[in-house]
Amino acid sequence: MNGDISQALRGRDEVGLREALVLDTGERLGDALQDWQRAALADADTAALTWIEWPRACGKTTIAAAWSLGRLLCGAPGQRGYVVAADADQAGILLDLLRGLARRSGLEGLVTFTTNEARVEAADSMLHVQEAHGPSIWGLLPTFVVLDEIAEWLPGAQRLSDATLTATSKRNATVLVITKAGCLPSWQYDLREAVRKDPTCRFHRREETAPWTPAEFLDRMASLLHPATYDRYLRNTWSAGGDAALSAEQVAGVFDDRTATEAPAKGRRYAIGVDLGVAEDRTACAVVHHEGEGFGVDVLAVWQGSREAPVDLAAVRQWIRDTSARFGRAPVRLDAWQSLLMAQELEAEGVSVEALQITAQSRARLFGELLLAVRQGRLKCYEHTGLRDELAGLRVQARPGGFTVNHCTHTHDDCACAVGLGMLLLGEAAQPHLLGPRSPASSPRLLSGRGSWESGAAGLRGMGFSGDERRRWERGPTPTAIEGMD
């Protein structure tokens, strides 16, 4: 514990303690703060409610963690703090940041941590962290509250927001809202406007991305994200349009008047992507080839199973074996978790198989490259209703550390996954420039004697960042500022 922190604790100086906290770069928070970050914190110290609305990568969650730690350690005894986050992952991020600040600053002996709480036993003070669709806080008596990424809360979470805000009147609690822009229309926007117009509240909005955000990242996001999503996350603009990953025009551009291919073209390289499902999900197998600087889909077969009549995996294996032989012994890539046994059986029959471990990183790479190819007009397919519906149903969602691509509730992404797996296999094997560099940590690892592999754990984070690229971005220029995804 350095002298400044000791002095701040003795004098119950929240600002002094906060400025002396040590970031993961080794810097003091006070040395890293930008003027606009410091101004927002100053208002959070004094106003009943402060609304911070900044784009991604502006340090919102770090600032909220530092502010909360100052309240716990230097506020009056008996503090009761509550952090309500968009989801469990985001709640965990804030608590991890708070734990790291305490550890690096020599405060571990004063603050103890559990799965969802931080406690200062000597002052009978605590901070509880929960997700927005968790238990209500009706009847509790908070002294301070953080509403984290409120624009990402589900529609049904408005009741929890109302309960939280009304509970603050009981002990004159202070409220800190940290968020980026969200969707129109929404209850979050209505609340935002009420706060902005209330003279007793403080409102901080920033349109520009953080100065340490690289231009290459913004360019890549512009090519991957729906324009409305890009505006919300990176320009901090409230907009309509939902979180569709692709526009209707981009989806339509994939399909033309070609027909499914029954025989391979001479000199063309093929690969087969397999997304295996048995009951609830479908099984999809896609034959993909290079087409100029892009990709073409030759065959896309789908099997639909149910609990009563699961997919016949033996028939799927035979289809893969026969189709691989028909297309010049085309290599196969499939999900190692779902289909390791099938991979081994196909290899025993002479089929070249690569089993990819589907992780958050490899899924981000798969969908990142798929979306990029669609947006740039580099993916072509014959008319296929299943693939068309799946591409139209893909949604981009913000998550701690980057973005994730998911499908709408009660829909599928099996066809899209199968096509993406085939694309990755072709791009990595023959023309790496089509997919960009792969992190050294994600190089193939042998799975069996025939050369199958599963990707390493690093992969690309967010939408195409390697671990090293991510760390370089987070370090930023020197002297650095508070950085991170949020």
Cβ neighbours of 129 (radius 10 Å): 26
The pLDDT value recorded for residue 462 is 29
The pLDDT value recorded for residue 360 is 74
Reference 16, options 35, 3, 32; nearest CA is 3
- Select the CATH number that applies to the domain covering 248-470 from these four: 3.30.1540.10, 3.30.70.2860, 3.30.420.240, 1.20.1250.20: 3.30.420.240
The pLDDT value recorded for residue 184 is 83
User: From CA 18, how far away is CA 48, in angstroms rounded?
Assistant: 19
Q: Distance of alpha carbon 429 from its chain centroid, rounded? A: 27
The pLDDT value recorded for residue 60 is 95
In the numeric block, the tokens 């008996």 are attached to 78
The pLDDT value recorded for residue 401 is 54
Strands 332-335 and 270-275: parallel
DSSP SS3 for 259: coil
Sheet holding 353-356, edge to edge: 255-256, 379-382, 294-303, 283-291, 270-275, 332-335, 353-356
End-to-end, the C-alpha distance of the chain in Å comes to: 27
User: From CA 355, how far away is CA 278, in angstroms rounded?
Assistant: 18
The pLDDT value recorded for residue 478 is 31
Class of domain 3-206: alpha beta
pLDDT by position in tens, the chain (length 486): 778 999 999 999 999 999 999 999 999 999 999 999 999 999 999 999 999 999 988 999 999 999 999 999 999 999 999 999 988 888 889 999 999 999 999 998 999 999 999 999 999 999 999 988 766 666 788 999 999 999 988 777 888 888 888 888 877 899 999 999 988 888 999 999 999 999 999 999 999 888 888 998 888 888 777 788 888 889 999 987 667 788 888 999 999 988 888 788 888 999 999 998 877 778 999 999 998 889 999 999 999 888 888 888 899 999 999 999 999 999 999 887 767 888 889 999 999 998 888 777 788 888 889 998 998 999 999 999 999 999 988 887 766 556 677 776 556 789 999 999 999 999 886 543 333 333 333 333 222 222 222 222 222 222 233 333 333 333 333 333 343 335
The pLDDT value recorded for residue 477 is 32
Q: Which residues of 318-335 are buried (b: 16+ CB within 10 A; e: fewer)?
A: ebbbebbebbeebbbbbb
Cis ω for the linkage preceding 479 (within 30 of 0): yes
In the numeric block, the tokens 């072709």 are attached to 426
Domain ranges of the chain: 3-206, 248-470
Q: What is the pTM of this model?
A: 0.64
